[in-house]
Amino acid sequence: MTRPLHVVTAARPGDLIEPLRAALSGDGPALLPRPADAIGPGAAAGDPPGQADPTDGSASAAAAPLPATVAQNVSLVIETSGSTGVPKRVALSTDALLASAAASAGALGGSGQWLLCLPAHYVAGVQVLVRSIAAETQPVIMPPGHFDPVAFAQAAAAMTGDARFVSLVPVQLKRLTDAAASDPSLLAALRRFDGILVGGQALDSALRDRAVEAGLRVVRTYGSSETSGGCVYDGAPIGTMRARVVDGQLELAGPALAEGYLGDPSRTERAFHEAEGLRWYRTGDLGTVVGDGTVSVLGRADNVIISGGEKVLLDAVERVVRPLPGLAEAVVVAGDDPEWGQVPVVVVPGSDGDTGHASLATVREAAAAALGRAAAPARIRSVATMPRLASGKPDRVALTRLAADTADPRASGRAE
């Protein structure tokens, strides 16, 4: 049996609540939420996929046409970029979404009211709505646009629930923690939350310590669209989720797993498999699981970084950078950043102060225009000799180390 699939705009998350409720109950079509700029001028919210006209550069633009229907048990499809650059459409069942919401409530000590600060076309954002529906509470939704601590405080003040929760990415937590240091009312609002979930990228331990010392109840989360969002809280799998390591790579099992990738059976087969009587998801992350089940994530197994909660494909950035003047031999690696977690860094052969190549401003503008603001390199580093592997390919591990050793914090930055 099948059901219709409708593309909806996530620009006004409050408008998604009732369609999502109907999708979860089986009374309405399955939903694929997209940002407003990925809904073409000829498509209205709720239009079936055949009427959508995604703009160039969106995740959906390079993917195959959407089917008009999906399996009956699928209630939500989340679009996200894959590590290879080919977009993924993750098909989530009602059972998986509600199992995730129930596990989250159990881990947090009960249900409550949620504040939505994340885009609703991301799994972390839409899960705030799912949890609210499951708890029969009304979420408070921050206005769209640049994340602002003042607006956050105003939204938090509108909450009325006895138990209050919010889901953030690390850069948002940093801005709130910085602002709360000089704003007692914001600090009081943050302390009122019974759980501040932080995920989307690695949470810097120093930032976490600052937040905890300020009296904030921070919960470090790990998960993905394929696991219906966060499924590991502070290193512990929640609900009946399980974790293991196979060949150095984390695998997860449990009721929150996705059905697979819409219209991509070969990718589904590579990512999901049966073993030990369970269905497992290969995360693509390197990590460890110690005897008591504590999960530690060491990083991606491929050449992808998470910057401010957004995936950035370094190979894609490199393809944009190399055609620019003087950067034909450039290599793009990951650099640490205290605010964004990681940022792209361009490494080029030459000497310090070399101006024989495109400026940082030009590089950032080109990358942001082609791939989005998160892909804009933070700095350009020159090295006397480009280290290479025996195969002749650039030694990216060595280049990453060189870029870190020569990093100048004053050159760091990111497009807003």
How do residues 87-141 score in pLDDT, each as one tens digit? 799 999 999 999 999 999 999 999 999 999 999 999 999 999 999 999 999 999 9
Residue 354 lies in a domain: yes
Query: One-letter amino acid identity for 200?
Result: G
Mean pLDDT over each residue of the chain, to the nearest integer:
86
Say which DSSP state 373 is in: G
37 and 57 belong to one structural domain? yes
Per-residue pLDDT, 153: 97
Same domain, 194 and 174: yes
Residue 204 has pLDDT above 80, yes or no: no
Q: Dihedrals φ, ψ of 153, to 5°? A: -60, -40
Residues 154 and 7 in one domain: yes
Give the CATH number, domain containing residue 344: 3.30.300.30
Do 232 and 379 lie in one domain? The reply is no
Residue at token pair 């003087």: 326
Closest CA relative to residue 283, chosen from 334, 239, 245, 237:
245
- Number of domains observed in the structure of the chain: 2
Residue 93: strand pairing partners: 74
Asked whether residue 57 falls in the same domain as residue 171, the answer is: yes
Q: Given this model, what pLDDT does residue 45 score?
A: 38
Do 185 and 214 fall within a single domain?
A: yes
Q: Are residues 253 and 309 in the same domain?
A: no
**What confidence tier does 50 reach under pLDDT thresholds 50, 70, 90?**
very low
Last residue of a domain, one of 229, 263, 298: 298
Residues 128 and 224 in one domain: yes
Nearest alpha carbon to residue 96 among 279, 283, 255: 255
CATH number (domain holding residue 70):
3.40.50.12780
The answer to whether 246 and 253 are in contact (CB under 8 A) is: no
Return the pLDDT at 409: 40
Query: Within this chain, do residues 341 and 363 fall inside the same structural domain, yes or no?
Result: yes
Domain endpoint, select from 298, 331, 356: 298
325 belongs to a structural domain: yes
Q: What are the pLDDT digits (tens) for 140-161?
A: 999 888 899 999 999 999 999 9
pLDDT band for 193, please (50, 70, 90 cuts).
Answer: very high
Kindly state whether residues 257 and 333 are assigned to the same domain: no
Query: Domain containing 353: what range?
Result: 304-411
Complete edge-to-edge strand list for the sheet that includes strand 260-261: 69-71, 2-9, 30-34, 74-81, 87-93, 260-261
